[in-house]
Structure 1
């Protein structure tokens, strides 16, 4: 299977490298292009056999699977470039959440999917969110999820849940890293433990907690209950967090959704400008 990538910025390059490093594909199966050619060339230098294309049309032509890894406001120009070179059986995959399936199905003659990756895919972990257009067959979906399963846990969601799901899987690593950083900063300031040591402890804790919540059989609520002894240190810490942090998460979801709605409106205007 020939796989194309239009856009090799942060997330595009993560997917390319993860697919190769996981053994899901060989470099020879990939053709990439970027509006800054040097970025595509650097990937080709790192992975001999990987092909670079000089244009979006060249990257799209002849591919069975085409990932569009560009910013929302760049999508319309890319679609205009490729619409007459993608075949009906080609699967075009958007990784950009504000661009809706219907936007792409109205303007392209092929099969459409939306996949929201995460930086955690770089270490062959985390989730990828999968949303499918009406032209995607069960076989198409299974083939794409098999590819994604080499670097993640593919999870099907409804498109109306894209934003909140992305908050958890894609924005979540940054949010969790912020929490860990503040935890480390407070520990260093209060006790004099070195930042290096505290960060190592926090990182191992985060990794272990993830395993407990995935393969360990715990839910977030049951894990808190198991660790917390009534009247103990953990219980007192949880009491403070319950008091101080709950509103933060409500505000967080409201803020990310407001930004998403704004981005969707901008995309609508760009795609369907009179």
Structure 2
């Protein structure tokens, strides 16, 4: 990771922070230039100390990049403890939902990138959306991009106000897909399938369809149409799912609810 210079401090090494750290090391970031601040490290994170990662070192060192991956509700308490890592040149990258650039600047300094990853980052298949403060340099943006790409794709936006909708679509989106697998399995049981078989069929169908969508350059609508024969079984099901009170209206309401909650968290 040649774009990453100096010392990188990771504050918070839970599931998402841990996934990012694993990705950085796999991509060649020198572990001796990584400091992890995590009060309750997992055995996996503790084991990385043997590779040279500095875990909860005594004292503080100024970070070239500080990545904040703590829970948003703990930031007010944790933020002041992170400030000693920051000087006027430090880049702060936050993956905390609902925490604005202005809030981060007030606590940790002015050079801030706000990012929203999602849980497939744990297997390197996440997608992260990021927005940078105006005073972030091109080199710092490149460094943030390299760190975030360690867990999957990265999209950049210019308008921070879009982050609430981003959180609702991609940040929370994996839960919607998992719910689809749950409900598809339940529907299979209701149609007469054994529970275990229905669960396996639903799981593999959702996973396979997702992989096909990932590999194909065709729009999702075209892939759907390719499965649907006029007057066939799929068309009968889609008449229900795409009806007046179907999936489209439910998804609009769901994303709107998540967007509103994200805005509430920022207050």
- What is residue 176 of structure 1 aligned with on the other side? 177
Q: Distance in 2 between matches of 1:3 and 1:135?
A: 20
Aligned to 1:133: 133
Mark the runs of 5 or more structure 2 residues left unpaired by the alignment: 1-5
Tell me what 2:226 maps to. 226
Over aligned residue pairs, what C-alpha RMSD do you find?
Answer: 2.3
Q: Is the counterpart of residue 9 in structure 1 residue 17 in structure 2?
A: no
Distance 1:256 1:99 in 2: 15
Q: 1:221 to 1:28 in 2, by over 3 A?
A: same
1:25 aligns with 2:26: no
Contact kept, 8 Å, 2:49 with 2:55, in 1: the verdict is no
* Cα distance per residue 1:27-58 (max 9 Å; x no partner): 33321112xx3426751225522211257x72
Deviations 1:76-134 (A, max 9, x none): 33332333541222111111121111222244444211121111011111201111011
Match of 1:51 among 31, 50, 54: 54
Indicate conservation of the 8 Å contact 1:30/1:51, yes or no. yes
Q: Is the 8 A contact 1:5 1:69 kept in 2?
A: yes
More deviation, 81-90/39-48: 39-48
- 3-state SS in 1 of match to 2:41: helix
The unaligned stretches of length 5 or more in structure 1 are 266-274
Question: Which residue of structure 2 aligns with residue 214 of structure 1?
Answer: 214
Which residue of structure 2 lines up, in the alignment, with residue 99 of structure 1? 99
Q: Are 1:68 and 2:73 an aligned pair?
A: no
Q: 1:54 to 1:142 in 2, by over 3 A?
A: closer
Q: How many residues align?
A: 258
Cα distance per residue 1:184-218 (max 9 Å; x no partner) = 122134233452x4444333333332343333122
Alignment deviations for residues 131-151 of structure 1 (CA, whole Å, 9 cap, x no partner): 101121122112221232232
Structure 1 69/26 Cα, relative in aligned 2: closer, same or farther at 3 Å? same
TM-score (norm 2): 0.86
SS of 1:154 mapped into structure 2: strand
Task: Kindly state the Cα deviation for residue 164 of structure 1 after the two structures are TM-superposed.
Answer: 1.5
The 4+ residue runs of structure 1 with deviation greater than 6 A are: none
**For the structure 1 residues 41 and 205, does the alpha-carbon distance in structure 2 shift closer, same or farther, using more than 3 Å as the test?**
closer
**What TM-score do the two structures reach when normalised by structure 1?**
0.84
- Alpha-carbon separation, structure 2, partners of 1:156 and 1:26: 26
- Deviation string 1:161-198 (CA, Å, 9 cap, x unpaired) is 11221222221111110111110122134233452x44
Alpha-carbon distance in 2 for matches of 1:53, 1:40 = 13
SS at structure 2 position matched to 1:83: helix
Residue 54 to residue 77, structure 1, CA distance change in 2 (3 Å): farther
